[in-house]
Amino acid sequence: MKNGVMMQYFEWNLPNDGLLWKKLKEDAVNLHQLGITAVWIPPAYKASEQKNQGYAAYDLYDLGEFYQKETIRTKYGTKAELIDAIEELHKYRISVYLDVVFNHKIGADQKEKFIAVKVDPENRTIEISDPAEIEGWTQFNFSGRKGRYSPFTWHSYHFTGIEIENSKEDKHIYRITGENKHWSQDVDKEKGNFDFLMGADVDHKHPDVISELNNWGNWVVKELHLDGMRLDAIKHISSAFIHQFVDHIKTSNNPNFYFVGEYWKADLLTLENYLKTVDYSIDLFDVPLHYNFREASMSGDKYDLRKLFSNALVARSPSHAVTFVDNHDSQQGSSLESEVECWFKPLAYALILLRKDGYPCLFYGDYYGIGCQEPVQKNLLKILLEARQKHAYGEEKLYLSSPNVIGLVRYGDNGRPNSGLATLISNHDTNLSLMMNVGLQKAGEKWIDLTGSVKQAVEIGKDGIAEFHVLARNFSVWAKWGNTRKHFIGISDILKRIKSKCRK
């Protein structure tokens, strides 16, 4: 879809109230009006405990339907509520992508005995004990589901390894041994072999596992009418498995079924190699770009803004990069904490929402407010989303003459009146300006800063050139004066509200 925007519709610390699916349903019309064209929903199946975010995956077939783990609903609600929400989203042509946790299972029903070797946690290819029988949580019976949808039960031989924790100090990673049993080799090479992440590590080479997960994939696509999947933790999963799974789902359902993978690594080459390995059948989150945003946000005017995209996936594989500012893993207090500082977030969003390349993903936490509590933030995001819908079309040109202020021009589409825009991003501590050419056909037009931060309109010169301004450590988005007046009303209202708060 032209100028599509994905929204990650959850954050790490949502309350365990079972209300997310209901909220999502009620929000569908609002999301549509905002310009959201797809939502990425959290893992929607039964986790090891109700309050878990879903990444401690227990039973993929229990979408909040069976009494298991002392609950029918998940943290987010029941299966019926989820189906309702998806139906509502589809009314507004919003696609739904499910978060899929294939790497591990957690919350086994029974312990089993099996032969395993202890491995060095820092290099999992090094064995630090002889093979011996151990006991671990590897049997998943799903007795509350009673074989509905799938009779498959999981046992130690369906896993490659397991972490056994007797206490915080007495914690070990074991590799389960047996015929044809080893870590998958086609995984990330960090820690020698990064197949193991947590819990009971699923063996994606086991033929019964492959067919069970393929069957589940087709089942869940049909059951929920999904449009796509976000594949969790793929650097810990056999790339051959992922490749065949993606092919299987596309072939069985829809060649345009959408996949984005989470390969959490800031190394561009690794991401590019992964895309090649899976034959460009999926997109990847642009993790290097996220870390650039993070660094820029922490470095103030010491950061050369021209470097922001230099090692980014979107610069190298523009049609396979999902650009984002933050997510549930990078937010404060979470596992991969690397949050972009508040002042820079709107600037980063301006770049991912207004540039031509990349599939931008808006984080629930950034829109609804966690960490950065200024009310202006949500309104700035609204302005940017509207600018993306109305103005961010056509070819682009970057102005990169200065390390502290960069300019972006979109020339617009002939078929879209008022399309075209000019953006300035600045990390400098004084107000600055740039001369930019927005095209001869715009000569004589009056352009305004949609964010309302620069009050003075500019007139585009006969040659298509004008001087555009930006305030210190801020951004501005310039477009033709016309149907955008309401922003000024919105912004001035907000400023009034802030002022009255300050007075109190």
- Which residue is listed with tokens 């993903």? 361
Q: What is the 3-state secondary structure (H, E, C) of 104-133?
A: EECCCCEEEEEEEEEEECCEEEEECCCCEE
- Which residue is listed with tokens 């690794």? 270
Residue 193 contacts Ca ion per CB under 5 A? no
DSSP string, 242-297: HHHHHHHHHHHT-TT-EEEE------HHHHHHHHHHTTT-SEEE-HHHHHHHHHHH
Which is the catalytic residue, given 109, 232, 366, 445?
232
Q: How far is the CB of 327 from Ca ion (least distance, A)?
A: 21
Cα→Cα distances 456→446, 451, 467, 470, Å: 10, 12, 11, 11
Stretch that binds Ca ion, among 94-102, 201-209, 294-302, 457-465 (CB under 5 A): 201-209
Interface with Ca ion: number of residues (CB under 5 A): 4
448 SS3 class: strand
Q: How far is the CB of 202 from Ca ion (least distance, A)?
A: 6
> Which residues are CB-neighbours of 168 under 8 A, at least 6 positions away?
none
Residue 201 contacts Ca ion per CB under 5 A? yes
Residue 195 contacts Ca ion per CB under 5 A? yes
Residue 103 contacts Ca ion per CB under 5 A? yes
Which is the catalytic residue, given 262, 326, 329, 366?
262
Distance CA(91)–CA(84), nearest Å, equals 11
Q: Where are the alpha helices (DSSP H) in 35-171?
A: 79-91
Nearer to Ca ion, 195 or 227 (CB): 195
Residue 286 contacts Ca ion per CB under 5 A? no
Q: How far is the CB of 194 from Ca ion (least distance, A)?
A: 8
Is 262 an annotated catalytic residue? yes
- Which residue is listed with tokens 């103005």? 391
**Cross-strand bridge partners of residue 120:** 123
Stretch that binds Ca ion, among 20-28, 188-196, 349-357, 424-432 (CB under 5 A): 188-196
Q: How far is the CB of 236 from Ca ion (least distance, A)?
A: 4
Cα→Cα distances 427→170, 399, 424, 437, 478, Å: 48, 15, 10, 22, 18
Stretch that binds Ca ion, among 124-132, 192-200, 333-341, 473-481 (CB under 5 A): 192-200
* 204-243 residues near Ca ion, rule: CB under 5 A: 236
Nearer to Ca ion, 183 or 367 (CB): 183
Stretch that binds Ca ion, among 25-33, 99-107, 218-226, 422-430 (CB under 5 A): 99-107
Q: What are phi and psi of 56, to 5 degrees?
A: -85, 65
Q: How far is the CB of 164 from Ca ion (least distance, A)?
A: 16
Nearer to Ca ion, 114 or 411 (CB): 114
Stretch that binds Ca ion, among 41-49, 128-136, 197-205, 414-422 (CB under 5 A): 197-205
Nearer to Ca ion, 181 or 236 (CB): 236
Q: How far is the CB of 384 from Ca ion (least distance, A)?
A: 37
**Size (the chain), residues:** 504
Distance CA(273)–CA(106), nearest Å, equals 30
Stretch that binds Ca ion, among 27-35, 190-198, 224-232, 270-278 (CB under 5 A): 190-198
Q: How far is the CB of 161 from Ca ion (least distance, A)?
A: 8
Distance CA(15)–CA(62), nearest Å, equals 21
Distance CA(420)–CA(478), nearest Å, equals 9
Q: How far is the CB of 200 from Ca ion (least distance, A)?
A: 10
Nearer to Ca ion, 193 or 297 (CB): 193
Nearest Cα neighbor of 80 from 70, 66, 94, 90 is 66
Nearer to Ca ion, 236 or 391 (CB): 236
Q: How far is the CB of 184 from Ca ion (least distance, A)?
A: 6
Is 179 an annotated catalytic residue? no
Nearer to Ca ion, 46 or 236 (CB): 236
Quick one: DSSP state of residue 42? P
* 251-284 per-residue burial string, b: 16 or more CB within 10 A, e: under 16: eeeeeebbbbbbbbbbebebbeebbeebeebbbb
Nearer to Ca ion, 74 or 103 (CB): 103
Q: What are phi and psi of 68, to 5 degrees?
A: -140, 150
Nearer to Ca ion, 99 or 201 (CB): 201
Q: Tell me, residue by residue from 291 to 330, as one string, x for binding to Ca ion by CB under 5 A and - for no binding.
A: ----------------------------------------
Q: Is 175 left (phi over 0), alpha (psi -120 to 50) or beta?
A: beta
> Which residues are CB-neighbours of 179 under 8 A, at least 6 positions away?
none
Supply the residues annotated as catalytic.
232, 262
Sites of contact with Ca ion (CB under 5 A): 103, 195, 201, 236
